[in-house]
């Protein structure tokens, strides 16, 4: 393991501080309003000096996006690992609860990666694509494990793959290096869409006036999803 020089440690620490200030700005004004000049001002440094740490606004946004995708995936992994394999019912339940908990704890980061596209920003491609897939990859691996351990019951409506998913499935099988039972991808997409929708509605305060307790609603719906697949997590 290489030891960083003092200069390298200071450089890394400054990059982290820049991202911390940027997150504060995102929380107040949104990612679209991020300004390197404003961040530099808050840090007490000149705008040209900040460019030694991030070459452009897009470079900074990319770093924030990567951090957010990796943070939510790491949090979910940590939640899953509190339960042993093959306790997939509790692993999935813990992971889905953590998905919401992370979003509520870091709403600016959640909106950065799942909200509206940032005008003028172009993601660099492969790096962000890999990070973006981490969370769904984690859940897909859990579903695959449950399937292999005969714990997963595929709902009848997902036994036939939608024709428009065929090409996507071929790509997914190549990426994971293993044959994926086709209905698992449909289950993954449908489940993710539902929990993501509930979380987004809660973050924008659309659920609260209707149901009062979005946390209880979320847990109820997550349990309903899991029960349909044959899982009975401990409560």
User: pLDDT for 141-166, tens place per residue?
Assistant: 999 999 999 999 999 888 877 676 66
Tell me what percent of the residues of the chain surpass a pLDDT of 70: 92
3-state helix, strand, coil split of the chain in percent (to 5) is 70, 0, 30
Average pLDDT of the chain, as a whole number: 92
- What are the tokens at 6? 């003092």
Fold match, 1-55 / 65-228: no
Report the CATH architecture of 65-228.
Orthogonal Bundle (1.10)
Third-level CATH fold of 1-55: Arc Repressor Mutant, subunit A (1.10.10)
- CB-neighbour burial class of residue 32 (10 A; exposed 0-12, middle 13-18, buried 19+): middle
User: pLDDT for 64-108, tens place per residue?
Assistant: 999 999 999 999 999 999 999 999 999 999 999 999 999 999 999
For the cut 90, the answer to whether the pLDDT of residue 127 exceeds it is no
What is the value of pTM for the model shown? 0.93
How remote is the C-alpha of 173 from its chain's centroid? 21
Query: How is the chain split into domains, by residue range?
Result: 1-55, 65-228
Give residue 170's pLDDT band: very low, low, confident or very high (50, 70, 90). low
């Amino acid at each position: 393991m290489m030891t960083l020089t003092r200069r390298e440690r200071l450089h890394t620490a400054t990059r982290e501080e820049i991202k911390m200030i940027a997150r504060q700005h995102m929380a107040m004004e949104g990612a679209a309003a991020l300004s390197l000049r404003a961040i530099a001002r808050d840090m007490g440094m000149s705008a040209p000096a900040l460019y030694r740490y991030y070459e452009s606004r897009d470079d900074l946004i990319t770093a924030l996006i990567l951090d957010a995708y990796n943070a939510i995936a790491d949090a979910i992994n940590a939640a899953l690992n509190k339960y042993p394999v093959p306790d997939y019912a509790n692993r999935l339940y813990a992971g889905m609860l953590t998905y919401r908990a992370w979003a509520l704890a870091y709403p600016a980061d959640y909106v950065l990666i799942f909200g509206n596209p940032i005008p003028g920003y172009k993601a660099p491609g492969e790096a962000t694509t890999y990070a973006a897939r981490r969370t769904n990859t984690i859940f897909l691996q859990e579903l695959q494990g449950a399937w292999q351990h005969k714990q997963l019951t595929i709902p009848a409506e997902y036994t036939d793959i939608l024709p428009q998913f065929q090409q996507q499935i071929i790509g997914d099988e190549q990426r994971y290096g293993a044959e994926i039972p086709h209905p698992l991808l449909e289950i993954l997409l449908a489940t993710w869409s539902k929990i993501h929708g509930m979380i987004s509605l809660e973050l924008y305060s659309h659920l609260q006036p209707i149901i009062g307790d979005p946390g209880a609603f979320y847990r109820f719906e997550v349990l309903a999803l899991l029960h349909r697949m044959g899982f009975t997590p401990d409560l």
